[in-house]
Homo-oligomer: A and B are copies of this chain.
Amino acid sequence: MSMHETAIGTDPAASAIEVPAASATGVQRLTMAKALNAGLREALSGDDKVLLYGEDIGALGGVFRITEGLQATFGTDRVIDSPLAESGIVGTAVGLALRGYRPVVEIQFDGFVYPAFDQIVSQVSRLRFRTHGALGVPMVIRIPYGGGIGAIEHHSESPEAYFAHTPGLKVVTCSNPSDAYWMIQQAIADDDPVVFLEPKRRYQEKGEVDVSAPPLPLYASRTVKPGTDATLLSYGPMVRTCVQAAVAAADEGRNLEVIDLRSLSPLDDAAVFASVRRTGRAIVVHEAVGTLGIGAELAARIQAECFYELQAPVLRVTGYDLPYPPSRVEEGYLPDLDRVLDAVDRSLAY
């Protein structure tokens, strides 16, 4: 179905999406899964109070093997196989956090975070506020999310908007191994609760990781590719798709800017506005359903802040407003570079 199969096939996006390693010291070529594992290992080594907690994260190393080998190194008291109950995991992690620990919770799949929703929305996000700042909840909730892996239902969800709508939570997501490595460490070091979304379809993609580079600010976006004609705004699994689209568009003489938001709450909207003011056009791309997805908020903010600069309305390329469909049709459901380019065409036609 793709008009740009060659572009996908040769994948010139691969190099663009990687963060160039500043120095050769400590540079390794890792999958995102291994980068996260390395980041977690660093965090566990660096601070005794850091605990990993979740279903099957011990001997098995998690169903995606993100925690592989960590229980062997750090013991069952710090890498804890929990009973099978997400509200219980998050709720007891609150107690651990209130007593000085820094629990890093793993939710096994996106679709299984909802049983913990009350604890996340009414407790994790609010304990600081509820206690006038007396208590904080330095917790990270790791969630493998998104589709594209041929899974059965409840295993391909993109729940980010639920969390980004909730004051008191921070919500971040990584798009490449390098970011994965330092972002997970920064999230664990943060004194606020962070929902850390891991794009599971990107777990096995490799990239350069400089384990010795100083970390970047966690809540800042990254301009993956500068451009002048329109701004593609995306995050997590769709960054690669947007870079691929930008590469394909370049063939047609279009110079697209691609921004990886990294943080969905808070949104680095200053960088977004600056870009859109330059290009005059913005297209938000995400897997989550369109209605009240992150694209809605970005569109609302951009049209308010860049009203006179916008040459076209902010367009959204998102999952359709359906529950995630069976895997045999997920390719049509998920935004791909053709749908992005189609939106670019529509934007430029204004």
Contact = CB atoms under 8 A, between A and B. Distances in A.
A314 B291 contact: no
Interface in A292-350: 292-297, 299-300, 303-305, 307, 312-316, 321-323, 350
Q: Which of A165, A289, A297, A300 has the most CB of B within 10 A?
A: A300
Contacts of A323: 125-126, 129-130, 167-168
Interface residues of A, number: 44
A122 B150 CA distance: 19
Contact of A350 (B162, B307, B316): B307
Contacts of A297: 291-292, 296, 300
Interface string A160-172: 0110110110000
Given A114-B118, A118-B117, A323-B167, A304 B314 contact: yes
B111 A114 contact: no
B165 A289 contact: yes
Contact of A111 (B115, B122, B303): B122
A281 to B, nearest CB: 12
A191 interface: no
Contacts of A162: 162, 165
Contact of A300 (B165, B299, B322): B299
A349 to B, nearest CB: 12
B114 A115 contact: no
A154 B162 CA distance: 17
A37 interface: no
Contacts of A350: 307
B292 A303 contact: no
A292 B296 contact: yes
Given A125-B323, A304-B313, A289 B167 contact: yes
Contacts of A321: 167
Nearest to A350: B307
A304 B296 contact: no
A314 B303 contact: yes
A153 interface: yes
Nearest to A120: B114
Contacts of A313: 303-305, 307
A175 interface: no
Contacts of A153: 130
Given A117-B117, A307-B313, A291 B130 contact: no
A269 to B, nearest CB: 10
Contacts of A167: 289, 291, 321-323
Nearest to A267: B291
What 9 A-B pairs come out closest when comparing CB atoms?
Answer: A299-B300, A114-B118, A117-B117, A165-B292, A303-B303, A296-B296, A304-B313, A296-B300, A307-B313
16 contacts: A114-B117, A114-B122, A115-B118, A129-B322, A130-B323, A161-B165, A161-B292, A164-B292, A165-B289, A168-B323, A297-B300, A299-B299, A299-B303, A299-B304, A307-B312, A307-B350
